[in-house]
């Protein structure tokens, strides 16, 4: 398996866990409860902040419209995030952002992540 395949496998398991964790919650951004399609959306984008891909505060259930078609609906995501986890934790997450911008996970870390969230 390539690194990308291992990373994506761990991400799928983690994102499934997020959707299950947030099952009874509305979309973090728009508040809808009626979407037929749900994603595990990242507040600080996984493509930019690879060190936060598996951060539970950074990832929440989000409707597909907000996540994919509204580019994450970031302003509303932040407001929803403050309501959900509090301003102090949001600010702590944001302060980690540049420190965690680039991260390459080891094979062992990816296996541990996958096992933890299965």
Q: What pLDDT score was predicted for residue 100? A: 85
Q: Is the pLDDT of residue 27 over 90?
A: yes
Domain extent listing, the chain: 3-113
- Helix 87-96 vs helix 74-85: crossing angle, to nearest 10: 120
**Please, are residues 77 and 62 in contact by the beta-carbon 8 Å criterion?**
yes
Q: Is the pLDDT of residue 16 over 90?
A: yes
Tell me which residue has tokens 């911008």: 101
Per-residue pLDDT tens over the stretch 51-100: 999 999 999 999 999 999 999 999 999 999 999 999 999 999 999 998 88
Q: Is the pLDDT of residue 34 over 90?
A: yes
pTM for this prediction: 0.94
Both structure tokens of 22: 């947030």
To the nearest whole number, what is the mean pLDDT of the chain? 97
Q: What pLDDT score was predicted for residue 91? A: 97
């Amino acid at each position: 398996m390539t690194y990308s395949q291992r990373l994506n496998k761990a991400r799928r398991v983690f994102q499934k866990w997020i959707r299950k964790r947030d099952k009874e919650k509305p979309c973090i951004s728009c508040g809808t409860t009626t979407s037929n399609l749900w994603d595990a959306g990242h507040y600080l984008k996984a493509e930019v902040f690879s060190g936060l891909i598996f951060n539970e505060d950074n990832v929440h259930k989000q409707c597909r419209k907000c996540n994919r078609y509204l580019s994450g609906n970031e302003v509303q995501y932040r407001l929803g995030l403050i309501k959900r986890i509090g301003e102090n934790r949001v600010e702590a997450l944001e302060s980690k952002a540049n420190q965690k911008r680039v991260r390459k996970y080891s094979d062992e870390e990816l296996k541990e992540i996958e096992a933890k969230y299965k």
